[in-house]
Chains A and B, each alone.
Chain A
Amino acid sequence: MNCQACQQALIAAAAGDPLSPAAKAHAVQCAACLAFSRRQRAILAAFESIRAENEALRAPFIFAPPENERATPRRLSLLPRVASVLAAAAVLALLVVRYEVVEPRSTSGPSRVVASGGDPVAEDSDGVIPEVPSLASPLGYFEALAWADEEATSLAGDAFTADHVVLVGIASPTLSPTLHLDERLLEEDLIWDEDVPDVSEDMSDDDLEFILDDVDFGDVGAAAGRG
C-alpha cells in the first residue's frame, strides 16, 4: 500500500512528531503513498471531528453515590475469590484423577477413582466413590460436572458457581477447550476481575492455559483428600 518511508512518516505524524521536509517531499511524489496518506488524512480528520463532537457532549445525568454507603471492603471481597479457588482446586482434583483410573466394577456402575500414585481418594470401604458418575462418556462428564457443582457449593457456599466447574472442565486435557467456553464464563463477573485475565470468544488454547495459571491447582491431591 504505502512505502516504508511514508510508513515511518505516518508513524511519526501519529506520534505528534513534525515531518521532515524530505518526508513531505516524498509524500507528494509517491502515488501509492499519496492514496494512503489521503486516506490517513481523512481518517485522522474524521477522528478529530468525532472527538470534537464527543467533547461537546454532556451526560443526561450526574452520578450521585448514595450517602453513608460503604464501599465493598477489600478483605471481604477477597473471601469469595479465595473460596472459589480452593473449591475449584478440589473439584479439579476429583475430576482429574480419573486419568489414573479406572477400573469399572461393572459396565453400568460408577467408576473407581484413584489419585495420582495409585492412592484411592475419598473412597468408601469398597474402594468406590459411588456418587461420582461415570466419566467414560460425554453424558457422564456433564453429570460429573453437575455433581462437582453440588460438591463445590457445599464446600464453598454461594461463592462457588457453575462457571468454575466449567473452568475446571477446560483444564481437562482430553476435552476440547472450546467445547466449554460458553457464555456463562463471559458473563461471570469474577472472570472480569482485575486479577484474572480477560476471556474472549476468540482466545487460543494458550490463553486458556494462561487463565488456568491464575488458579492455583498446585496441591490437588491434598485438596481432593479434604474434599
Chain B
Amino acid sequence: MPHQPEDSRGSRVTPRHEDAAPDFQELSDRVYRLCLAMLRDETPAHDAAQEALVRGWARRELRREGVSWWTWFGGFAVRVCREFRRGRAREAERSAGTEGLEAVEAERGVTELAPVSLPMTRVVRDAVMRLPDRQREVTVLRYFIGASTAEAAELLGCPEGTIKSNLHKALASLHAALAKVGIEDELSGVSASFDRGGSG
C-alpha cells in the first residue's frame, strides 16, 4: 500500500489520480442507504443509487484532493435524489388533473403526518420528508446516516455553518410539526437519549 501524504492538519490527503479504488461493496451500501433515506421507497432508491454511482465514477477525475470516495459519491446521490423527488413531483402535478393539491402532495411522498399512535420513527420520518429540500437533506445526512457536520458540509458543498443553521431550522420545524399533532402526552414512555448527549 503506497504511503499517503498528510496535510497540515495531519489528515490523510487523497491523491486524485493515484489513490486506491474504492471499496465498491461498502460504497454501494452507503450510497443506497442515503438514497433510501432520502426517497423512502426501495425502487427509486435503487435506481438513484445506481445513477449516482455511475455519474460519480464517470467524473471521478474531477474529485478534488482530500475528498473521500464517500463524500464524492454521496454528493452525487444527494443531487440525484433531488432530481428524483422533483421528477416525481412534476409527474404528480401532470397527472393530478382536478384532484387538487392533496393528490400532488401525496404523490410527492409528502403525506399527512401519521396518527400519533403509529411508531415514533414513522411520525418523525413523515415530518422530515415534509421539510424543505436543504433542511431535509441535512437532517437525513446528519441524523439518519450519521455523517459528521464536516462530512455533510463537504457532501453538500456548503460551509459547516450552513449545515448547522439548517439543522437548527429543521429541528425547530420538527418540533412545531410534532407539537401541532399533539404528541406531548404520547411521549412519556420514550426512552431518553437526551442525557447521553443526543444522537449526534
Stretch of A36-44, A88-96, A118-126 contacting B (4+ beta carbons < 8 Å): A36-44
A219 located at the interface, meaning its Cβ lies under 8 Å from any Cβ of chain B in the complex: no
Q: Do A36 and B175 touch across chains, with their CB atoms under 8 A apart?
A: yes
Nearest B residue to A60, CB-CB:
B46
Number of interface residues of A (CB under 8 A): 50
Partner of A73, one of B27, B53, B61: B61
Residues of B near A46 (CB, < 8 A) are 120-121, 123-125
Partner pick for A44 among B134, B146, B178, B199, CB 8 A cutoff: B199
Contacts of B42 in A (CB 8 A): 60
Q: Mark A145-176, 1 if CB is under 8 A from B, else 0.
A: 00000000000000000000000000000000
**A47 on the interface (CB 8 Å rule)?**
yes
Partner of A57, one of B36, B125, B157: B36
Residue A72 at the chain B interface, CB threshold 8 Å:
yes
Q: Is the CB of B24 within 8 A of A64?
A: yes
Query: Complex formed: what's the CA distance from A41 to B195 in Å?
Result: 9
With A50-B125, A73-B61, A186-B86 known as contacts, the answer to whether A40 contacts B46 (CB < 8 A) is: no
- A187 & B83 in contact (Cβ 8 Å cutoff): yes
Instruction: Tell me the dominant secondary structure on chain B's binding face.
Output: helix
Number of interface residues, chain B, beta carbon within 8 A = 59
Listed from nearest, the 6 A-B pairs whose CB atoms lie closest are A59-B32, A46-B124, A47-B143, A71-B61, A59-B28, A63-B53
Beyond A13-B197, A42-B190, A59-B46, list 13 extra A-B contacts (CB 8 Å).
A39-B175, A41-B190, A41-B192, A41-B193, A44-B199, A47-B124, A50-B37, A57-B29, A57-B32, A59-B49, A71-B61, A77-B62, A192-B79
Chain A interfacial positions (CB closer than 8 Å to B): 1, 13-19, 24, 35-51, 53-55, 57-65, 71-74, 77, 183, 186-187, 192, 194, 200, 202
Residues of B whose CB lies within 8 Å of any CB of A are: 24-25, 27-29, 31-33, 36-37, 42, 46, 49-50, 53-54, 57-62, 79, 83, 86, 90, 120-121, 123-125, 132-134, 143-146, 157, 167, 171, 174-175, 178-179, 183-184, 187-188, 190-195, 197-200
